[in-house]
Structure 1
């Protein structure tokens, strides 16, 4: 629809008014949501002709998702806080293998039931409490959008100074507290303008742009790494370098690095159904398990070797950002093409994993007023500017703190989705009921208190460590070590606690013997709405997994 929709004058059908802005969007039809529910048709289960993601698609998806400047920075920042190449590679491999587990477990919800994350979350969180993980993911998508846009602005600076060297001499009129210079702000603005038109193009029409990224960005990363390693005397001396951190500092750096690597994909561990719903079969999404660590290791490896080589070439601390490295180069052609390569990666990554995701969340929250295009524009304004991404990227340590920090927030949500589907409800979701705000997944007033308790209990212990990471001057004692592993200390305890609560306090209406998918429902037949089921039947009514026919669309 875009920002505007066409108004038709029914009294004179041959006369069509000019497009006009409408704050409220027209209602979209849904095949499963009951009458009177304002929803978004994009949240419906995917149709058979939309299920096209096979093994090759999953590889290209992860190549596209992993290949950007933030992944280079993740690898480079590990060296920047004191790890050597060998330990950095181990951390990257272990972290990506571990985070692949919840991504695949939660991805099964989408590949088997064909529903997106906002709908799947209702089964475990409740109709209204599901807004909490949706909003959390949206905020983090805004942060990531800002980081990618700031990186694009940094690439724009290098591209412009390669064309006009005098661009590098723009005087700064901003105070030091601003976190960036006048030149940085100008580049950030220019890149934002260049990126803006892509929001008005559907993702399917941009597939060739995404495919180009899969070629351009790996070539850029390999080219930069190859030059740096060759210029520094080869890979041998770099591999032989010892870690600069020792003792407890080394242990802390190792754990913080592991948390940051896993935090890089923490959002996908939660909203994996948004992508796996398009899988060509229930088994196709398992191809992610080798794809995630291999693709993640490749791009991080280029950043690790690049940062290590920079210490030999330029002296001083490791240059963990590719844009700091480009700033050292005098070859204007090399600088320009590398900068353009990183800009392509930033735009494609922002659209595929940040702006579209945040826009979908906004559509879920405000279906009357926001569509995908409006959601992307709001994301550009809030994520690009209000989230001040230049402060997050001020140093390698602050970047890693941000990465590990938000992972402890997302981890309990990913855990609840995983164990609810696999252990508590044993993959038996009733998909049509997920679309009914008065159905069995309403729980108590729209909140599953088991999920509420789990989220609070598993996030709270990590808060002191998060506070200390943000402001090291605040002493929180040894509890910061509990926070250090990040995603792990949020995910594992949440799995145990949520399963325990459901074991001792089961919610019988949602415990079914078999799943009911959208394919099992004849949407051409009106559902029974006599309201005779009161939702308080004893547990034995559900032992056979049979939902009373009149249960659909009940009034609680």
Structure 2
């Protein structure tokens, strides 16, 4: 049996998991800048920024918090991106080095569960957009209590149809999604600018925090949420950098693209929400609710259509492909990509996105901060393993092989599992123990440094330190 056949039979190899070749390395600096601009221009980014204003920050405080959070998460993101660009491997393969060829399924599933939650959230946003369109066309629909649920389930079902037909069925929408979101957002900005009487009044809303202590109490968990927003990409960024022409291309492209795109697009959410406080007497953080207050039905309807198309595209591209592959990888013989996609959809429903998005507090401090406590520990273990223990050297062939360097104990590195469990435990303990609530406020940071430090201590002195230094040139 050839090495490829053996890896396939062991469930460790297929065409999608194979290392990229020189022919695949086509992404330059511009591609990574474009990637971050397209990923940043979505409703959840707008609501991330608008939630800070609704929570009491003024526009300067909100922008600084967003910029600082994105600069922080850029560090582990670029560190984990290195292996993708160097070896051409995706996240599920890269994470086999610290967790083992079978144990890697645990962090992959954690990342997949978060994507399922995002799938539910985007479906809820799309359902709300359909409901708002319905109310614009027939105002009496606003009095029908079950209408919003019907719209939500209808949009969710549309996503499921796309998953069943294959993501290629909406490929033609991908080139339009970011421009649609930009047009919608600029429409909101112009509307708010005119209604508020210019940028002066629009950005004049003062901070609602009257002491440094009250501000910091809101600032630190908000900063954690900013980091948590891209905590998923900080793990699976090798899925993208494996196509990079060089390390320089991906580093420069991402170092520019992420903070600039997020800050610029977030400014629209900050400015419009600040203006809504001036226009309506209170900040409206949900852009769909704000669009519903347009006095020009045709404009509002067009904006809702743009939002709906963009949401469908983002949801399938960003929140279905990865978890479907991760779930399918648990048992490739029994779970196809389609089945994995359907499981993703039902898990998204089970996470009750209407509760996660019920307020800015639930979204920022419940969802974003909460799941950052699951993913921060994984990032810490990955960074420590690759840079401190293995010195950026991986045995490429053994990442696809049973009984190789990354076999550990029957394919599982229990040291990594212990470090992961302790990091998650510490990060989330603040939810249940008031005295250490700050562990939860800093959930991503708590998990990252706890798991990374414990993993380093547990792995020191083992044969894994030296084993990682043997770089195999064999091809799989």
Q: Under a length normalisation based on structure 2, what TM-score does the superposition of the two structures give?
A: 0.93
Give the secondary structure class of the aligned counterpart of 1:328.
coil
Quote the Cα distance in structure 1 between the aligned partners of 2:413 and 2:321.
Answer: 28
Name the residue aligned to 2:262: 296
Quote the Cα distance in structure 2 between the aligned partners of 1:338 and 1:466.
Answer: 39
Quote the Cα distance in structure 2 between the aligned partners of 1:397 and 1:451.
Answer: 33
Give the secondary structure class of the aligned counterpart of 1:441.
coil
CA contact (8 A) 1:363 1:372 kept: yes
Matches within 5 A, 1:374-393: 374-383=339-348, 385-393=349-357
Per the TM alignment, residue 220 of structure 1 is displaced from its structure 2 partner at its CA by 1.0
Question: Is 1:216 matched up with 2:180?
Answer: yes
Per the TM alignment, residue 438 of structure 1 is displaced from its structure 2 partner at its CA by 1.9
Structure whose alpha-carbon radius of gyration is higher: 1
Name the residue aligned to 1:521: 474
Name the residue aligned to 1:481: 438
- The partner residue of 2:197 within 210, 214, 233 is 233
CA contact (8 A) 1:81 1:245 kept: no
- The partner residue of 1:86 within 60, 71, 78 is 60
Per the TM alignment, residue 439 of structure 1 is displaced from its structure 2 partner at its CA by 1.4
What's the CA shift string for 1:67-122, capped at 9, x where partnerless? Answer: 11111110010111111111000000000111111111111111111111111111
Per the TM alignment, residue 153 of structure 1 is displaced from its structure 2 partner at its CA by 0.6
Alpha carbons of structure 1 residues 201 and 64: separation in structure 2 relative to 1, 3 Å: farther
Name the residue aligned to 1:267: 232
CA contact (8 A) 2:97 2:399 kept: yes
Matches within 5 A, 1:94-493: 94-170=68-144, 172=145, 182-200=146-164, 206-247=170-211, 248-286=213-251, 287-316=253-282, 318-383=283-348, 385-401=349-365, 402-467=367-432, 476-493=433-450
- More helix per residue: 1 or 2? 2
Give the secondary structure class of the aligned counterpart of 2:203.
helix
Name the residue aligned to 1:511: 468
Alpha carbons of structure 1 residues 330 and 238: separation in structure 2 relative to 1, 3 Å: closer
Quote the Cα distance in structure 1 between the aligned partners of 2:323 and 2:460.
Answer: 34
Per the TM alignment, residue 452 of structure 1 is displaced from its structure 2 partner at its CA by 2.2
Per the TM alignment, residue 188 of structure 1 is displaced from its structure 2 partner at its CA by 0.6
Quote the Cα distance in structure 1 between the aligned partners of 2:475 and 2:93.
Answer: 20
Name the residue aligned to 1:22: none
What's the CA shift string for 1:183-209, capped at 9, x where partnerless? Answer: 211111222233344325655675542
Name the residue aligned to 2:46: 72
Per the TM alignment, residue 426 of structure 1 is displaced from its structure 2 partner at its CA by 0.8
Quote the Cα distance in structure 1 between the aligned partners of 2:198 and 2:11.
Answer: 61
Cα root mean square deviation, aligned: 2.1
CA contact (8 A) 2:82 2:238 kept: yes
Give the secondary structure class of the aligned counterpart of 1:466.
coil
Alpha carbons of structure 1 residues 204 and 187: separation in structure 2 relative to 1, 3 Å: closer
CA contact (8 A) 1:60 1:214 kept: no
Alpha carbons of structure 1 residues 338 and 185: separation in structure 2 relative to 1, 3 Å: same
What's the CA shift string for 1:121-148, capped at 9, x where partnerless? Answer: 1101122322210111111110000001
Give the secondary structure class of the aligned counterpart of 1:129.
coil
Per the TM alignment, residue 398 of structure 1 is displaced from its structure 2 partner at its CA by 0.7
Quote the Cα distance in structure 2 between the aligned partners of 1:372 and 1:94.
Answer: 37
Unaligned runs of 5+ in 2: none
- The partner residue of 1:58 within 32, 36, 44 is 32
Quote the Cα distance in structure 2 between the aligned partners of 1:162 and 1:354.
Answer: 29
CA contact (8 A) 1:109 1:115 kept: yes
Quote the Cα distance in structure 2 between the aligned partners of 1:35 and 1:458.
Answer: 33
Quote the Cα distance in structure 2 between the aligned partners of 1:232 and 1:486.
Answer: 38
Per the TM alignment, residue 450 of structure 1 is displaced from its structure 2 partner at its CA by 2.8
CA contact (8 A) 2:426 2:446 kept: no
CA contact (8 A) 2:101 2:406 kept: yes
Give the secondary structure class of the aligned counterpart of 2:95.
helix
Alpha carbons of structure 1 residues 207 and 36: separation in structure 2 relative to 1, 3 Å: closer
Deviates more, 1:109-118 or 1:482-491: 482-491
- The partner residue of 2:459 within 494, 502, 522 is 502
